[in-house]
Amino acid sequence: MSSGEILKEVDSVQYIQHHLQNWSIGEGFWALNLDTLILSWLLAGGAIYFAWRVGRQFTTERPGRIQNFLESVVEFVNVQSSALFPQRDPLVGPLALTIFIWVFLMNFMDLIPVDLLPLAAQWVGSWFGADPHHVYFRAVPTADLSMTFAMAISVFCLTIFYGIRSKGVVNWVKGYLTHPFGKWLAPVNVIMSLVEEVAKPISLALRLFGNLFAGELVFMLIALVGFHWYMLPVQAAFGFAWTTFHLLIILIQSFIFMLLSVVYLALATSHDAH
């Protein structure tokens, strides 16, 4: 391998490593990824403000296109959540809608040009005297494992709350002691039940993270293709094809996260679950 090829390979590795680095404060477990927090809050605030504006202009006589579209989304989510959670509950429907929209918005950040926000962060950082090479910013909150685990753990805590509220503390604990082998194998039942319960948030978090992390990485590889000007048409073709396909992925992953969250809540309230 020539020195030029080695240099290109090193530059490519550094490019990917730089884009996979979060803007963080703190160390280890207690580190806070500020880019994930800021973007997720901004997207949530933007969705709330947009819904408020549409709500102020809500009309039943001559609804506009935006209102019709939002009503279709609300009806779709309501039908899905009602089918999975037939009991009347004032929280499940709004929770499912919130999860679907918020996760979709965070996933949609993966369709923004991969270098746009990191370069903007470097530009802003240079105003404050920071070295642009040490300014990091990841634009996809759901490609951050801490974000997907935080949402999955929140759903897990809700399943515990719903389970206790539906069955009572005594019956809820009894379910872990007697399922699936009866009361005489209570220690084994507890271990198996704990493994089953812990696997739910882990799989929920890893599924979303894995798909978005892979999509983010593919966009970086496509960006590397354009390092040579004569490869720009190829980069454009790859970028368009992957963007079209990835749009389906981010929509499906938002739907799956919402769907599984409602399913876990329904299982927690079901008296046949244990």
Active site residues: 203, 207, 211
Residue 174 confidence (pLDDT): 85
Residue 271 confidence (pLDDT): 61
**145 part of a folded domain:** yes
Outline where DSSP puts E strands in the chain: 24-25, 32-33
**228 part of a folded domain:** yes
**274 part of a folded domain:** no
Q: Domain of 15?
A: 3-269
Residue 239 confidence (pLDDT): 87
Residue 166 confidence (pLDDT): 86
**8-state DSSP, 274:** -
Neighbours of 256 (CB within 10 A): 15
Is the dihedral angle over the CA atoms 73, 77, 78, 79 positive or is it negative? positive
Number of independent structural domains in the chain: 1
Residue 253 confidence (pLDDT): 96
Residue 4 confidence (pLDDT): 42
Q: Are 241 and 79 in contact (CB under 8 A)?
A: no
| Tens of pLDDT, residues 105-147 | 999 999 998 889 998 998 998 888 888 888 899 999 999 999 9
Chunked in runs of 10, what are the mean pLDDT values of the chain (274 residues)?
Answer: 40 84 85 94 94 81 80 89 82 92 95 90 87 88 94 94 88 81 79 88 95 92 74 83 93 95 89 54
Residue 60 confidence (pLDDT): 72
Residue 272 confidence (pLDDT): 57
Structure tokens at 125: 């950082």
Q: In sequence order, what are the residues at sequence separation of 6 or more whose Cβ sits closer than 8 angstroms to the Cβ of residue 208? A: 103, 142, 148, 151, 253, 256, 257
Residue 2 confidence (pLDDT): 36
Residue 5 confidence (pLDDT): 41
Rounded-to-integer distance, Cα 2 and Cα 19, Å? 26
